[in-house]
């Protein structure tokens, strides 16, 4: 994704039906797994899913975009790793 897409994502991720629905589905699928241990969010983007998971257990966010990780930092996430998943 390019920087403009991350800037748009930051604005709409918390309320747009697609992202809200995606988080609900992920949380339902992982409900039993969200109760213990740590989670790694590969390609965490601007942190929408990470925010939901961090309320339940320790998490690490990973992504390659410096802008997206800076947005995550501004949202209060401090366990982030910049990495190319390839």
- CA-wise closest residue to 80 among 46, 52, 56, 31: 46
pLDDT for the residue numbered 27:
84
pLDDT for 64 equals 94
pLDDT for 1 equals 82
pTM of the model as a whole? 0.82
DSSP letter at 61? E
**Residue 6: exposure state from Cβ atoms within 10 A (0-12, 13-18, ≥19):** buried
β-strands 59-63, 80-82 pairing: parallel
H helices of the chain, in order, are 3-12, 17-29, 48-54, 66-74
Residue 70: CB atoms within 10 A of its CB come to 13
Per-residue pLDDT of the chain in tens (86 residues, 90 and over written 9): 888 898 888 899 989 999 999 989 988 888 776 667 788 999 999 999 988 888 778 899 999 999 999 999 999 999 999 998 88
Residue spans of the domains in the chain: they are 3-82
Domain 3-82 sits in CATH at 3.40.50.150
């Amino acid at each position: 994704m390019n920087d403009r897409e991350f800037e748009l994502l930051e604005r709409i991720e918390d309320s747009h039906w697609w992202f809200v629905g995606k988080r609900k589905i992920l949380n339902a699928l992982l409900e039993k797994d969200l109760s213990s241990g740590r989670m790694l969010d590969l390609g965490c983007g601007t942190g929408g899913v990470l925010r939901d998971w961090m309320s339940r257990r320790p998490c690490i966010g990973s992504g390659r975009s410096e802008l997206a990780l800076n947005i995550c930092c501004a949202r209060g996430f401090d366990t982030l790793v910049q990495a190319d998943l390839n």
